[in-house]
Every structure is written in C-alpha cells, then in structure tokens.
Amino acid sequence: MGEQQHVKFPQEVIDEYASLGVDLPALFSAGHLGNRMGVQIVEASADRVVGTMPVEGNTQPYGLLHGGASAVLAETLGSIGSMLHGGVSRIAVGVDLNCTHHRGVRSGLVTGVATPVHRGRSTATYEIVITDEQDKRVCTARLTCMLKEIGGQDAQHLPAAGRLDGAGA
C-alpha cells in the first residue's frame, strides 16, 4: 500500500497546483485511513473521481463488505472531487454523508465513481456509486462538503512530500 499511486489528473489542475509550489501527484493519496483500507485512486477531476477498494480486509463479522468501508470509499472519492472543485485556495470538509447499501459482497474489488450533483461557492455535493466486479450496484452514497478558505492551521498539514520546495510540516 505504500507504493506510488498513478492518479490521472487533468493537466490544468496539475499546473494550477504547481504554480503554488505543490506537486499534486506526489501529495495526493486516499489519506491514512484510505491507505490502510487499500483505497486506490484511479482518476481524479472535479467532474469524476474513480477509486477502488479490496473487499478482503474490509469485512464485518459475517464476511460481507462492511458498510463503514463503503462509507470510507464514498467519502474519500466525494471529498477529492470537492477539493478539486474548490481549487487551491479552499479545503473540502465533509458535513453530510449518507449511504444506502443494496447488496452484500464477499470478495474481490469494489469500484466507486463520484460525480457532482451540485458545485457551488461554499458547498459541493457528489453522488458516489459503488459497484462490484460484475458491475452490480453495491452502495449509493451522497456526500456534501463545505468549501472553506485555507487558513494557517490548514496549510501546515500539507505534507512536505507534496511541496515542490521541500518545505512543509
């Protein structure tokens, strides 16, 4: 799980972050929790975020994919889309997440696709559809994020690996 991810970002997004000294591909990840759960981001833009997660290691006692694991995948993907929509001067903070679980999955890989429902100045809402390897819907989620201006405390949490100048926390 510690290997470098190859996320497909739009070039204009990479350039925008690079102009501020941030190496977006180096900075980008599913976060500590997402990494522990095996979440891999495949594609990321404000219009569409795609990620996968293994079922193995993310199950409840009956051997089915844990609903909380689906929620982690959904919130990760929706937050990434919201962050990319908000741009370099804002951070996305989840304020509402709901998930409807349609069917159980015992093995394999699930794939989530987040698409925008609403993209405003202060909030962004994404629908996240999670499917199994047979393309059957496992979960439908909706995430709303508040978009807030980056403050001093927020900026200090950017890891040094993502800074082109090597500076950072």
What letter represents residue 54's amino acid?
P
Cα separations in angstroms, 58 against 88, 98, 150, 166? 32, 19, 33, 35
Give the C-alpha separation, 160 to 146, whole Å.
25
Query: Which one from 43, 75, 127, 149 is the annotated catalytic residue?
Result: 75
Q: Is 75 a catalytic residue?
A: yes
Phi (first) and psi of residue 32, to 5 degrees: -60, -45
Q: Judge contact between 147 and 92, C-beta under 8 A.
A: yes
Give the C-alpha separation, 101 to 103, whole Å.
6
Tracing tokens 């199994």 back to the chain, one arrives at 132
Active-site annotation, residues: 75
